[in-house]
Homo-oligomer: A and B are copies of this chain.
Amino acid sequence: MNRITGLETLINILIAEQDFDKKPERLYAPIDYVMSQKGKRIRPILALLACELFQGNIDDVKYPALAMEMFHNFTLVHDDIMDKAPLRRGFETVYKKWNSDIAILSGDTMFAIAYQYAMKTQPRYIKGVLETLSKVAIEVCEGQQMDMDFEESDMVEIEDYVRMITLKTAVLLGSSLKIGALIAEASPNDIEEIYNFGLDFGIAFQLQDDLLDAYGDQSVFGKQLGGDIRSNKKTYLYLKALQLADKDQSQKLKALFTVDNHANSNQKVKEVMAIFDQVNVKKHTIDAMQTYYEKSLVHLESIRVASERKKDLQFFIESLYSRNR
């Protein structure tokens, strides 16, 4: 069992130990339901790895790490209401299985529980951890609002898009690492480097998400390819393709992105993919991903810890970066 599997197990056991079998039943059952689904546990694993990197005490960080997982799941429960998403991790979403009122309220409760977990550490770390959690919570909400605003806008620039995914996705990875580093009492400089490492890696990670949705391998992807295209999502691929397209392609792409999800969607995906291929958007996206990934590695390298100690963290992000679903 490698270290990553060990840490994942630690988190899963910690989750299993939590008591969500409480009243009112309809408030806590969704929390239990969501938390027992085996997600990738990326955020808590990052917190634990950062703490180990700086030789902190795992016992001090495990609950703050769990807080990041609880917070992340809270945002998914609320996002799924807004996105009207029926499925997540192969299961019905909370708002579908119960209803949106319950999804709102269970989500709110998860947010409060996340704060309780975040405080379960040595008193001297509480302020730093909670400041980090509150800041990232606000940023994630800002990112989600930007994402919703983009749906109604024709003027989204790639720069805005990168800002949006930074807020919606990357800051939470950076903050999880930061919390681990804070609790391990890393130097301010190293804390900044590991946070920025998480930010750049998070952007690469999200670009890869966009790419897999269109160019993934159907046999391993686990869900239907082209979901973002079907729902007219303004991903990096779409925005970059618009930038690369000639007038004709651009008009056609914009027109295709006004077609409803249900109407002839296989044909629509095919036509959009044809334009994506014509402008070679796959290569451009991989280039951008690679740029952010390499930037993230520069931050990791500049952390003042023997490179031997960075192995586990490096292994983990490499495995995420080479994922195919």
Contacts and interface: CB of A to CB of B under 8 A. Distances in A.
Given A101-B82, A142-B24, A137 B119 contact: no
Contacts of A101: 81-82, 148
Given A119-B127, A131-B119, A134-B116, A108 B148 contact: no
* Interface residues of A, dominant DSSP: helix
Contacts of A137: 108-109, 111-112, 115
A15 interface: no
A105 interface: yes
Contacts of A23: 142
A145 B82 contact: no
A266 B141 CA distance: 43
A299 to B, nearest CB: 26
Which of A82, A138, A146 has the largest number of chain B CB atoms within 10 A?
A138
A101 B141 CA distance: 11
A145 B113 CA distance: 16
Contacts of A81: 101, 104
Interface residues of A, number: 39
A294 to B, nearest CB: 30
A239 interface: no
A112 B126 contact: no
Contacts of A115: 115, 130, 133-134, 137
Given A27-B141, A116-B138, 11 more contacts: A27-B142, A82-B105, A105-B144, A105-B148, A106-B141, A111-B137, A112-B137, A112-B138, A119-B130, A119-B131, A130-B130
28 contacts: A24-B145, A24-B146, A24-B149, A27-B141, A27-B142, A78-B105, A81-B104, A82-B104, A100-B100, A102-B145, A102-B148, A105-B145, A105-B148, A106-B141, A108-B111, A109-B137, A109-B138, A109-B141, A111-B137, A112-B134, A112-B138, A112-B141, A115-B133, A115-B137, A116-B134, A116-B138, A119-B134, A126-B130
